[in-house]
Structure 1
Amino acid sequence: MDLLERVGLDKEYYHRFPHQFSGGQRQRIGIARALALDPEIIVADEPVSALDVSVQAQIINLFKDLQDEFGFTYVFIAHDLSVVKYLSDRIAVMYLGEIVEICKKEELFSNPLHPYTQALISAIPIPNPRHKEERIILKGDIPSPVNPPKGCRFHNRCFKCMKICKKLQPKVKEINGHKVKCHLYMMKEGR
């Protein structure tokens, strides 16, 4: 009963059946079930993507409040970078199942290094109709993760692709705690 209240549901909901709950209520029940295990880490895979925008905000704030109260860590998986930015301290950007960039959130949003990250950040809507920012539009088809392309997995959609990208898998380069997997930064070393 305590867990129901902590996630914002009334005790009377205890006797309801699953089909009697809305999507937001079901998400709160899922969160309560995770809390019942007294976790140190909670993995949340797209926890708000199927919810109405106003309900998304409630659930995101619930995640933040519970983290502040219990001190656990989230592995928060999402496509919406504005949600990720609000909840995260460090962000890993993945493409075809591979981390291409990882750093603190402030660094990622102020200085995205990988071309895929740059494209993702350029797609975040800015709530100002007068603000005109150039959006990076990726071209080409997304390759199969089962049979990724040779070289860099992103090369066939990359707007900064070089010959080496099509041949060699890039290595991770660390720049002041900011890790990126891209030939652009290896070339600066003279590799």
Structure 2
Amino acid sequence: MDRNDSFRGFVAGHQQALMRTAYLLTGDPHQAEDLLQSVLLKVLGRWSRLSRVEHPEAYARKALLNQYISWRRHRVMNELPTADPPDRPYSGEDSTVVRLVMRQALMRLPPRQRAVIVLRYYEDRTERETAELLDCSIGTVKSQAHYALARLRELAPDLAPRLADLETEEAYR
């Protein structure tokens, strides 16, 4: 198998999971595609070495997180925060509404906190795995998760019971 075939196989096997992570980080399908494409170009450039390691996906995932954080640091924000609440507050258990409310709140977190929430609760990664991917200590992961969950409770108070459930599950892991 030549280099291009093995890279195509890697992309076919991991693109969906990496795209999901990119989307959860950016909150925008187009930005997620751009983010993933730029990371896959970096991975391709290093593929001759990466194809020989046991888990090239770990490199790709870490590159995805680093690129996202770098983009957030260097780009001009096109989001305009508003003090006006939505026309209709969330009330009820409709899973679509819950996902939308959570996504909107998630998009208002700082990049590092959002990355911790995505890795810990969406991808169900351990604190150790999250710390390794973000190149920080386990204590930093714990504190960032704590602050992020507190901020999410402020941004989406109707979801506070669900967020409390996450923290309770976390305490028993």
TM-score by length of 2: 0.31
Larger relative contact order, structure 1 or 2 (CA cutoff 8 Å, min sep 6): 2
TM-score by length of 1: 0.28
Which has more radius of gyration?
Answer: 1
Higher strand share: 1
